[in-house]
Structures are given as C-alpha cells and as structure tokens.
Amino acid sequence: MKKELKKLSAVVILLMLSVMACKKDDADVPDLVGVWTITSVTSTGCNDASDNGTITMSCTSTNCLKVELKADGSYVGTTIEDGDTEIESGTYSISGDKLTIIGGGTNDEYTFSLSGDLLTIVLVEQTSGCTGTTTLARN
C-alpha cells in the first residue's frame, strides 16, 4: 500500500507540474502562488482494498516533493527521491474550485480547496478506482 500511495503522490506532483496558464481575471480565484510541500496522500475507495491508506510525508535532504506555483501561471516542481532530484516546469489554470493540468501527456481536472496555508487536491484514478486526496502546505 505504501508503494502505491507513494506512486500516487508522485503522479499527483507530476500532474501538478505540467499545468496550464493561470488567469487572474476572476476576483474569486484563490491565491495558490507560493511554494507547496506535500504533507500527506490518502487513498480511499480502491478496487484493491490493500491500496487504501494514508502516507504522511515530510521533507528531508533525500526525500521531498515540492511545487512552486508562480503568479504568471507557471510552476517549477521538485521531486527528491532517495537523493535523486528531478525538476519539471509548466503552467496551470484555475476556474472556481477546479485546477486544470495540461501537459506531460495529461489533460486532467482536479477539485481543490484552500484553507489558510493548506491546499487539498482530489483525483479519482479510473483504473484503480482510488480517490487520491493530497494535502500540501504552503512554505
């Protein structure tokens, strides 16, 4: 289960890292600008019940998942796993409570919510049936 959740969190980060330009013409658009670190990933409703569960994460010098969302709608994502660093960049768009991510071979829409400095995004993985809820903290 831990491996599946780690894989899900990596997928979520990679998807967030390939996002489309943010339009700030709506006064109700939440301010997602900043550096965000994944703090937990929860998987529920999976076809294989052993894939359900929660992983709590924290950044270390050898393992960390972060994304910087910039005011111009671009991002820079950093994944550090077992000391190996991978950096990706792209753009994102927001409409209401939907975060649209396009790029890297994906075109997905996620539901998100923002409470203070905590960002929660939800992804339903069609193949596994899992609903992945990822929580990120603004640094």
Query: Mean pLDDT over residues 85-98, rounded?
Result: 89
Q: Give dist(CA 14, CA 102) in Å, integer.
A: 11
User: What's the average model confidence in pLDDT over 67-88?
Assistant: 89
Mean of pLDDT over the chain:
81
CA dist 88 and 6 (Å) reads 18
Residues 6+ apart with CB under 8 A from 88: 14, 17, 18, 76, 77, 79, 104
66 in Cβ contact with 37 (< 8 Å): yes
For residues 85-109, average pLDDT: 81
Residue ranges and CATH numbers for the domains of the chain are 2-138 (2.40.128.280)
Q: Per-residue pLDDT tens for 5-36?
A: 444 454 445 444 433 334 444 456 678 999 99
Q: In the predicted model, is pLDDT for residue 61 greater than 70?
A: yes
Q: Above 90 in pLDDT, residue 57? A: yes
Which whole number is the average pLDDT over 56-65?
Answer: 93
